[in-house]
Amino acid sequence: MIEIVPENPSLHAEAIEALFDRTFGPGHFAKTAERLREYSHSLPEVNRVALDDGKVIGVCRVWPLVVGPSRMPALFYGPVAVDPAYRGSFLSLKITEAALDAGRQAGWPAAILIGAHSLFGKVGFTVTPRGRLTFPGPQDQSRVMVKDLAGDASLLEGLVTAA
């Protein structure tokens, strides 16, 4: 039976890193999103991990950010990874939804995600207007999305940086 739980770093961290390596390969460290993550720390209480009989088969990691000159807080969702053997069941959306619920319950105002709208639009993410959010490196603006959590994501504007 698959269960989705908060991340316990002492139990899950090593398996999550191995899943990222299998899913994305070594090139994922070169992405602009990694520039935000390398100066931050994920939030285990908001992160969600999918387990099948105790084995990590999916993850959605979440990172605190600030946006623009007002330094509005937001959560950065991703990477989201699912073991190839479990693809096709929309497990990535189920894990992301659980992490979004945790962020909302924790009082975070908004979520940011870089990904495919055809997938993450199904859990309420919308593509931001071109140039509204900028990143510390090149980013395909058609993949930058936001979602309201406990606040209004439309207020996010400016440079996205680690909190």
pLDDT digits 0-9 by tens, 7-64: 999 999 999 989 988 887 765 554 566 667 677 889 999 999 999 999 999 999 999 9
Mean pLDDT of 136-142: 88
Tell me what pLDDT residue 88 has.
87
Tell me what pLDDT residue 31 has.
58
Q: Kindly state the DSSP code that residue 43 receives in the 8-state scheme.
A: -
pLDDT: which is higher, 135 or 25? 135
Tell me what pLDDT residue 25 has.
72
CB count in 10 Å sphere of residue 138 = 8
Tell me what pLDDT residue 21 has.
85
Q: Decide: helix, strand or coil at residue 144.
A: strand
Q: Decide: helix, strand or coil at residue 157.
A: coil
3-to-17, 59, 109, 161 alpha-carbon distances in Å: 19, 11, 26, 32
Long-range contacts of 139-143 (CB under 8 A, 24+ apart): 139/32, 139/114, 140/114, 142/117, 143/114, 143/115, 143/116, 143/117
Q: Which tokens is 71 given? A: 């330094």
Contact in structure between 149 and 103 (CB atoms under 8 Å): yes
For 64-114, write each residue's pLDDT tens digit.
999 999 999 999 998 999 999 998 889 999 999 999 999 999 999 999 999
